[in-house]
Structure 1
Amino acid sequence: MCSLNGAACSSIASKVPALLIGCLLNASAVAKVANRLILETGANVTVIPCGEQWNDVRIGENRLRPSIEDYLGAGAILTQLKGNKSPEAQVCMGAFHYTKSNIRELLWECGSGRELRARGFGNDVRHCS
């Protein structure tokens, strides 16, 4: 699946020393590499849930919209990172912990899940959750 906003965020972040792209599917692998980088370099890690872009933006509105799957994916990664966490990261981790028992149902019924299913990507929604 493509991610227009993920691609835009990756382009903007191209000037950083290391860029890892994570989601629910690869949260453990991303956290493992990030923890290694923290240990080897002492660098700080920033986790950014990219979100999505609205299809029907009105004049003067921002195209960026929150994305539950990106937010929960960030929480899944953050729960496995070593070190201190900001209050924002702690809330994101809390959301992941609270929802992980029914994450498949939540992603199936969330706005982007319904939108993707309507466009014929139901199997992708199942796979990603």
Structure 2
Amino acid sequence: MSVSGQRDAGVRFAWGEAGARACGGDLAVVVDVLSFSTTLTVAVERGIEVFPFRWADARAAAYASECGAVLAVGRSEARDGEVSLSPASVRRAVDVDRLVLPSPNGSTISSALASSGTTVLGGCLRNAASVARSVADLLDEGRGPLTVVAAGERWPDDSLRPADEDLWGAGAILAALDDRGVGGFAQEARTAERAFRSVRDELGRALVACESGAELIGKGYADDVAIAGEVDSCEVVPILEGERFVPR
């Protein structure tokens, strides 16, 4: 797959793990608004170290045991007081300082990029401005190129389903970079930035109406969608150091 047009740019945009690998770059921001990266920001701002993990099965339980961490279970499996991928459950959590967070999208992409030597940050609507500030500093230090990765969702055959909320989350970070005077955008990055600007004034309504948001609300997780829409409420920028996300 050729991405020569983006490889000439300092700021790139990609969908999913394959797109991120194709774009390359020494620095990446992984955006999975509903809900990995939103849950990540809630956890890290509470002082919780987050260990991303690809699989949500017995391997995750074994890994959590090795890390001395709590395992986040699936939303539908969570009992009262248990932590899940739901950011609302993490916000309510008590006595949790290490968390294994399985996710087929955000966790998988983060771990895959880190294994190739890429510096990985976690971004979403909640911390878009803070991520842009950190990224601008890193670019000034000579780090980069940058790829902002919209995680997307999965179809039943496990192929990538582009997700509006991740386009907007990536676009929010790119818009904040643009506002800071960062240049060198690939056309794909510019398109994501403009997509966010087009919906910014009605973002709450858009999150509720988009496919992923409507699905979560229908399953009783309206709080998670509301938390995801807390634009620029979080100053923490999670960075993946070794196997865990910590505040940068």
TM-score higher than 0.5 here? yes
Q: Give the corresponding residue for 2:122.
A: 21
CA-CA distance at 1:42 after TM superposition:
4.3
CA-CA distance at 1:117 after TM superposition:
0.8
- Equivalent residue letter for 1:97: R
- Equivalent residue letter for 2:218: A
Q: Which runs of 5+ in 1 are unaligned?
A: none
Bigger strand share? 2
Bigger helix share? 1
Q: Give the corresponding residue for 1:39.
A: 140
CA-CA distance at 1:4 after TM superposition:
2.8
Q: How does 1:22-101 map to 2 (within 5 A)?
A: 22-54=123-155, 57=156, 61-81=157-177, 82-101=182-201
Larger Rg: 2
Q: Which runs of 5+ in 2 are unaligned?
A: 1-38, 40-84, 86-102, 230-248
Higher RCO (C-alpha 8 Å, min separation 6): 2
CA root-mean-square deviation: 1.4
Q: Secondary structure at the match of 2:146?
A: coil
Q: Percent of pairs identical after alignment?
A: 37
For residues 144 and 159 of structure 2, the distance between their equivalents in structure 1, rounded to whole angstroms, comes to 32
CA-CA distance at 1:47 after TM superposition:
0.5
For residues 67 and 38 of structure 1, the distance between their equivalents in structure 2, rounded to whole angstroms, comes to 28
Q: Give the corresponding residue for 2:110.
A: 10
Q: How does 1:95-114 map to 2 (within 5 A)?
A: 95-114=195-214
Runs of 4+ more than 3 Å apart: none
Q: Which moved more, 1:41-50 or 1:72-81?
A: 41-50
Gap change, CA 1:106 and 1:86, over 3 Å in 2: same
